[in-house]
Structure 1
Amino acid sequence: MDKYETFTGIAAPLPQINVDTDMIIPKQFLKTIKRTGLGVNLFDEMRYDDNGAEIPSFVLNQPAYREAEILIAGENFGCGSSREHAPWAIRDFGIRCIVAPSYADIFYNNCFKNGILPIVLPQEQVDILMADAEKGANARMTVDLEAQEITASDGQVFRFELDSFKKHCLLNGLDDIALTLEKGPSIDAFEARAGLERPWV
């Protein structure tokens, strides 16, 4: 997982509430165990019609938002099943940050494990950022994880709270596997000692 650095990007507005994981990545795309390749099917049933053609009105199909790196969303984003494919699809599309008033717990935690920063802000602040995102590609926002701030295109700064451990993991590009590997020397020492003390194991 790459280290999370400050960036400025296009924000796409998705004001719908209760966007569940089946809407994010429908069940027919859950056969893969790879984290790549799912971006094309992100929000599949909202992005494409029954013939596979793009629905022009959907935000990510609009020219201004095809390169969006930030998603401004409604409350309870990521509810439904616990599928980790949902953040896989979001990250594979290119979205690195989501801003919403609230998230489903499992989805929220899965975001950190996949290099996505899910920011929680009060509804009134999300509304301001939503309106800013609706201005299109010229209205870019800056996400500063170190400072825990997101800056709108007009310069308004919104500070967000974040668990210090989750922040540390994102800043240093540490997923669960990388965290375990950091303890490699201690694990090796334990196993060597245990082998001497309990050779029958």
Structure 2
Amino acid sequence: MTPFTSLTGTAAPLLEKGKPMSNVDTDMIIPKQFLKTTTRTGLAIGLFHELKTKADGSPDPDFVLNRPAYAKASILIAGENFGCGSSREHAPWALLDQGITCVIAPSFADIFHNNCYKNGILPVRLPVDVCEKLAKAAGGSNHVFTVDLATQTVTTPDGEVHAFDIDPGRKSNLLAGLDEIGASLTSAPEIDAFEARRRAATPWLEPAR
């Protein structure tokens, strides 16, 4: 997993009626017809498919990620309850395949939130009014934000800084580029030593060979 340290890139505001879009579910992020693969590549084509595509299948030029200024966005700004719905890991995979490694929203659905950390995406929780302010800033002429995990800050194009909270363990894993399995393997010597002591102390628990 790629470590997440500091990200400076284009922020795309996902809006509905001028406000950050709330209740964006995983089917909206990556519709069911794109779930046939178990690989993590090639999913960007399905990302927000129903939002970015017209009824005739052509790209909707009004959708934010279809606009040239946001085509290479690495930060997404959305509303409350982002990632609700079914527990499909393809949702963070599709975001990553698009190049988005940070999502800023007031709140996230629990399973999606956990899946982000498993895949190297930083989910940043900020208050509703702050997210609205950030979305407005991202809609201006300068869309470049900086998200720094070490200092736990989001910096807008005009230099305004917003601090966010994150679990220390998850922060440490993201900085090191470790998922839960990778984090466990860092303790492999201690695990091996414990297993050796257990085998010596309780040999009758060992399976028959």
In 2, Cα distance between equivalents of 1:178 and 1:31: 27
Give the number of aligned pairs. Answer: 200
Aligned to 1:157: 161
Structure 2 counterpart of 1:100: 105
Give the structure 2 partner of residue 17 of structure 1: 22
**TM superposition score normalised by structure 2:** 0.90
Match of 2:17 in 1: none
- The Cα of 1:178 is off from its aligned counterpart by 0.7
Contact kept? 2:104, 2:124, Cα under 8 Å: yes
What amino acid does structure 1 have at the position aligned with 2:160?
Q
Residues 1:184 and 2:205 aligned together: no
1:100-122 deviation per Cα after TM superposition (whole angstroms, max 9, x unaligned):
11111111111111111111111
* Structure 1 unaligned regions, length at least 5: none
Partner of 1:198: 204
- For each residue in 1:75-113, what CA deviation from the matched residue of structure 2 results, as whole angstroms up to 9, or x when unmatched? 111011111110111111101111111111111111111
* 1:86 paired to 2:94: no
State the Cα RMSD in Å.
1.6
Q: Distance in 2 between matches of 1:99 and 1:107?
A: 13
Name the counterpart of 2:47: 42
Letter of the structure 1 residue corresponding to residue 40 of structure 2? R
Letter in 1 for 2:122: L
2:197 and 2:125 map into 1 onto residues whose CA distance is 45
Q: Alpha-carbon deviation of 1:186?
A: 2.8
Question: Which AA in structure 1 matches 2:92?
Answer: P
Larger-gyration structure (1/2): 2
Q: Which moved more, 1:38-47 or 1:177-186?
A: 177-186
Cα deviation, residue 155, structure 1: 0.5
Q: Is the partner of 1:198 in helix, strand or coil?
A: helix
Task: Please tell me the residue identity of whatever aligns with 1:6.
Answer: S
The corresponding residue for 2:118 is: 113
- With over 3 angstroms needed to count, the CA separation of the structure-2 counterparts of 1:193 and 1:93, relative to structure 1, is same
Give the aligned residue type for 2:170: K
TM-score (norm 1): 0.93
Distance 1:198 1:30 in 2: 46
Residue 175 of structure 2 corresponds to which residue in structure 1? Answer: 171
**Unaligned stretches of 5+ in structure 2?**
15-19
C-alpha separation in 2, matches of 1:194 and 1:36: 42
Higher alpha-carbon deviation: 25-34 or 73-82: 25-34
* Aligned residue among 50, 55, 78 for 2:60: 55
Q: Is 2:39 aligned against 1:29?
A: no
Which residue in the other structure is 1:7 paired with?
A: 7
Q: Counterparts of 2:206 and 2:151 in 1: how far apart (Å)?
A: 52
Alignment check: 8 A CA contact 2:12 2:143 kept: no
Q: Note the C-alpha offset of 1:192.
A: 4.1
